[in-house]
């Protein structure tokens, strides 16, 4: 499973990469800290799964989400953000996000989601 991580917070990107690297079969194929870099790289690499923040340097993760979905790309998209109010959730889900998670307490859910995506609900990754 090829995964792309986009977030302007370097520490969170590193944490996600470390967390996802625990899973056999997951390959981190790229990272971006801003929206334009993320969109360009997602177009080039065609990941299976993308994690996106809502607010990034140079634009919005929501715009990136809309664009990749509009172009027919079909990665699973996890919006992982500090902006978890209902209007943001609604906007992201309407734009095609598959999951909407709070950065503050959603990383355990990320593990569960990847276990399910990999078809390994009993995965040993923790």
Q: What is the per-residue pLDDT across 60-87, written as a single tens digit (0 to 9) for each?
A: 999 999 999 998 878 999 999 998 899 9
All residues at 6 or more sequence positions from 69 whose CB lies less than 8 Å from its CB, including other chains:
77, 95, 96
What's the confidence (pLDDT) of residue 125?
39
Q: Give the predicted TM-score (pTM) of the model.
A: 0.91
Q: What is the per-residue pLDDT across 4-38, written as a single tens digit (0 to 9) for each?
A: 999 999 999 999 999 999 999 999 999 999 999 99
Q: At what angle do helices 86-95 and 61-70 cross, to 10 degrees?
A: 20
What's the confidence (pLDDT) of residue 26?
97
Q: How far is CA 55 from the centre of its chain?
A: 13
Give the whole-angstrom CA distance, residue 28 versus residue 75. 14
pLDDT, average across residues 45-49: 97
């Amino acid at each position: 499973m090829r995964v792309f991580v986009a977030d302007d917070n370097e520490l969170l990107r590193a944490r996600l990469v470390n967390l996802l690297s625990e899973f056999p079969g997951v390959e981190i194929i790229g990272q971006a800290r801003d929206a334009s870099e993320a969109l360009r790289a997602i177009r080039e690499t065609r990941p299976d799964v993308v994690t996106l923040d809502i607010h990034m340097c140079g634009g919005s993760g929501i715009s990136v989400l809309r664009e990749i979905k509009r172009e027919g790309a079909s990665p699973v998209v996890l919006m992982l953000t500090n902006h978890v109010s209902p209007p943001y959730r609604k906007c992201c889900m309407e734009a095609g996000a598959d999951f909407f998670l709070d950065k503050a307490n959603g990383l355990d859910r990320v593990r569960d989601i990847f276990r399910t995506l990999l078809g390994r609900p009993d995965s040993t990754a923790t």
